[in-house]
Amino acid sequence: MGESVLLYILFAPFLGALGLIFVSNRQPLLVRSIAAGSAFVALLASIYLFYAYDPVKGGFQFIQKIEWSRQLGISLHLGVDGIGTPLVLASTILLFAGIFVSWHIKDRTKEFYIWLLILAAATIGVFMSLDLFFLYFFYEMSVIPMYLLLGMWGSHTKKYLEMTDSEGMKLRDSVGFIFNFGSNSKEYAAMKLVLFLSAFAVAALMGILLIYKYSGLNTFDILVLREQANLMNIPVLGTTLDKIIWILVFFGFASIAPLWPMHSWSPVGHAAAPAATSMLHAGVLMKLGHFSIIRVAFEILPETTRELMPIAAVLCMFSIIYGGFVAFYAKDTKYVIGYSSSSHMGYVFLGMAALNYISLSGAVIYMFAHALATGMLFAMAGWVYDQTHSRDIPSLGGLSNKMPFITACFMVACMASIGMPGTVNFIAEIMIVVGSWNKYPLQVIVAMLGIVLTLAYLFKMMRGLFYGPMNQKYSHAHDAVSTVDRLPLLIMIAISIGFGIFPTHLYDVVRSGVDPLIVRITEVVPVAQSGSDEGVQHTVSHSKIPLTSPIIADEVAATPLQISGGRE
């Protein structure tokens, strides 16, 4: 595959979707085989990418650049660093697993797989893009498949199905009902997702266009902008332009993360989505927000990031605690997992806010780990729903007698979500907690309480689903016994535990992307001095990064000499 590996990964799902257009729904096995084949090609290529990436060399590798518009400075510029590489791998893992989780879908199978492949390809495109135009293009492309997958193949909640008017007539098909915030229909979930993400995406687009306009470089190339764009000294509305752009970019992308209080679209979307869509939604779609903030705000506006990132440190506490408590009291399996995902994304923001190599590395690893753990949980929640046609936890119970394999896998997924040693989640959580403690001790305490809450609501859900007396109307339910049904769960479990026991290469890859970014943000900053000490240059170091990494050592060696008061 060589240097073209990114093109294989990006276009394999697109070509699979294109090929499915010419296949009839009367050939379901061929439809599934084409979808699985294209996903498998992308997965193999991403595995090659992950192990071929050179963490010693670091930086952006496997770069492909195809000029799209010279006048506008737009190129299909692809490349991955240590941050994008594991997220590309997570996307292809969940896509491949999602194909098999959806193996038994009979309603418009071809169309379902087309949109699932396009959704995965769009997320992969974001993780590869080194051009702001195409980063935003792929970001917005992911919204269209989500709307259709929720609206066409999603499911209604119990509350929605029971809603009637005074005359006992169903109101589920009325336009007014779709926009009723208490209805929770699949149409409402799809509409809310699109409205939330599109509205905040406009804010992010404004920030991107301001970067393009006032950088004066006539390019959307992130690598050029991060080295040459200087937006700090342009006065706007009593502040400087860099702060305006940072706020637009941060909150524009944080909505998909989802950061409190911009989170309410996400759990509703989880509850309505089919299992494979929920897997991609929670596993990688939510990470588009964190990744885009890192790629745009951290890379292009490092000084402003250092100054304003405490905003995320405050809001992440609300995400962790609010999401945890709502998940504890929720009675719908997908709402529990959905609010759990919203809560856990607060840990990623905490790791990002601390701005040191340990915490940020932990945040990136946590994005990868959470994709696997939540993918498992949503896959099994989908299996339980397919067998019982119910997500109401109090009405279920005793399913372990009918589903021993699913029960065992569910327990492993719960352990991973909690951060049990032996899973990659444990490594990520420890790094976030240790890396954030010196700067944000209060937030770390809140995060530890969030872990206790996670233990409580996941065990409560597991007990409600699989233990206790079983309702006899679910006696027809059966376990996952075929290879097709067991394969996706076994893959995700093996990868989660495998990287939990052997994390070295994952850690090295992530560090190679995080180290130079932290140097840029926390580098030595000159401080002006007045009075009798004129001409004396004082410098303040915001970095506490050890020089053991060759990347850090090289970068810090190039910075000005640090002195406390004398002349240079």
Q: Tell me which residue range forms the domain holding 534.
A: 525-557
pTM of the model: 0.85
Same domain, 460 and 544: no
pLDDT beyond 80 at 384:
yes
Query: How distant, in Å, are the alpha carbons of 79, 164, 293, 540, 563 from that of 560?
Result: 30, 71, 28, 11, 9
Average of per-residue pLDDT across 199-224 = 89
* pLDDT (mean) for 124-130: 93
The rounded distance, in Å, linking the Cα atoms of 409 and 400 is: 11
Looking at per-residue pLDDT, the higher value among 139 and 185 belongs to 139
The enclosing H or E element of 523 equals none
Helices (H), 330-356: 333-354
Least Cα distance to 429 among 323, 346, 514 occurs for: 346
DSSP reduced 3-state for 477 = coil
Give me the percent of the chain exceeding a pLDDT of 90. Answer: 37
At 386, the amino acid letter reads D
Residues 17 and 139 in one domain: yes
Tens digits of residue pLDDT in 236-286: 666 788 888 999 999 999 888 888 887 777 777 777 777 888 888 888 888
Best CA proximity match to 335, nearest among 280, 412, 269, 263 = 269
The SS3 assignment for 468 reads coil
- CA distances to 324, 387, 409, 449 from 339, rounded to whole Å, are 7, 23, 21, 16
Cα separation values, 507 from 91, 246, 360, Å: 18, 29, 11
Contacts of 438 by beta carbon, 8 Å cutoff, 6+ apart: none
Lowest-confidence region among 110-124, 139-153, 355-369, 412-426:
139-153
Structure confidence at residue 506 (pLDDT): 93
Query: Of the given ranges (66-80, 200-214, 226-240, 308-322), which has the lowest mean pLDDT?
Result: 226-240
| Distance of alpha carbon 129 from alpha carbon 177, whole angstroms | 39
Specify the range with the lowest mean pLDDT, choosing from 180-184, 246-250, 458-462, 527-531.
527-531
How large is the average pLDDT for residues 46-59? 91
> Would you say residue 356 lies in a domain?
yes
Q: 177 pLDDT band (50/70/90 cuts)?
A: very low
Instruction: Please tell me the predicted confidence (pLDDT) of residue 235.
Output: 63
The DSSP line for 55-111 is TTT-S-EEEEEEEEETTTTEEEEEEE-TTHHHHHHHHHHHHHHHHHHTTT--TTHHH
Is position 168 within any domain? no
On whether both 466 and 540 belong to a single domain, the answer is: no
Q: Based on the domain organization, do 204 and 295 belong to the same domain?
A: yes
Domain-located, residue 170: no
Structure tokens that stand for 105 in this block: 């879908």
User: Distance of alpha carbon 560 from its chain centroid, rounded?
Assistant: 37
Residues 306 and 325 in one domain: yes
Q: What is the pLDDT at residue 126?
A: 93
Q: pLDDT at position 260, please?
A: 82
Closest residue by Cα to residue 278 from 267, 270, 287? 270
468 and 544 share one domain: no
Residue 523, phi then psi, degrees to nearest 5: -65, 165
Place 530 in a pLDDT band, splitting at 50, 70 and 90.
Answer: very low
* Co-location of 507 and 494 in the same domain: yes
DSSP structural state of residue 170: B
Does 512 share its domain with 548?
Answer: no
Q: For the chain, how many residues are written?
A: 568
Confidence of residue 41 (pLDDT cuts 50, 70, 90): very high
Instruction: Please state whether beta strands 525-527 and 538-540 pair in parallel, antiparallel, or not at all (unpaired).
Output: antiparallel
**Distance (Å, rounded) from C-alpha 265 to C-alpha 394?**
25
In whole angstroms, give the CA distance from residue 365 to residue 360: 9
Kindly tell me if the per-residue pLDDT of 305 is higher than 60.
Answer: yes
DSSP string for 530-541: -GGGTTPPEEE-
- Asked whether the bond before 394 is cis by omega within 30 degrees of 0, the reply is no
Tell me the pLDDT band of 550, cut-offs 50, 70 and 90: very low
Distance, CA of 542 to CA of 303 (rounded, Å) = 11
Q: Which amino acid is at 1?
A: M
- Whether 563 is in a domain gets the answer no
pLDDT at 236: 65
Do residues 346 and 319 lie in contact, with contact meaning Cβ atoms separated by under 8 Å?
yes
Q: Which residues pair with 64 in a beta bridge?
A: 78
Least confident of 15-24, 324-333, 407-416: 324-333
> What is the Rg, in whole angstroms, of the alpha carbon atoms belonging to the chain?
24
Higher pLDDT, 95 or 542: 95
477 and 341 housed in the same domain: yes
pLDDT at residue 173 tops 70: no
Is residue 166 scored above 70 in pLDDT?
Answer: no
Instruction: Identify whether 169 is part of a domain.
Output: no
Average pLDDT for 149-170: 59
Provide the mean pLDDT of the chain: 82
Neighbours of 426 (CB within 10 A): 18
Does residue 279 fall inside a structural domain?
yes
Please determine, for residue 179, whether its predicted confidence score (pLDDT) is greater than 90.
no
d(CA 559, CA 557): 6
CB atoms within 10 A of CB 561: 8
In the predicted structure, residue 159 carries a pLDDT above the cut 80:
no
Closest CA to 108 of 267, 222, 240, 274: 274
Q: Distance between CA atoms of 85 and 78, rounded to whole angstroms?
A: 12
Which tokens go with 319?
Answer: 């995400």
Map residue 168 onto helix, strand or coil. coil
pLDDT tier, 526 (very low <50, low <70, confident <90, very high otherwise): very low
What domain count does the chain have? 2
DSSP 3-state of 236 = strand
Mean pLDDT of 395-402: 84
Q: Answer yes or no: do 435 and 538 share one domain.
A: no
Q: How far apart are the first and last CA of the chain?
A: 51
Distance CA 150, CA 276 (A): 11
Measured CA to CA in angstroms, residue 277 lies from 50, 94, 358, 376, 493 at distances of 24, 10, 32, 12, 19
- Tell me what the mean pLDDT of segment 31-46 comes to: 93
One domain for residues 56 and 148: yes
pLDDT at 449 > cutoff 50: yes
How many Å apart are CA 213 and CA 303, to the nearest integer? 20
Q: Are residues 228 and 332 in the same domain?
A: yes
In a domain? residue 21: yes
pLDDT greater than 50 at residue 136: yes
Strands 239-240 and 235-236: antiparallel
Matching residue, tokens 């303040």: 540
Asked if residue 172 is part of any domain, the answer here is no
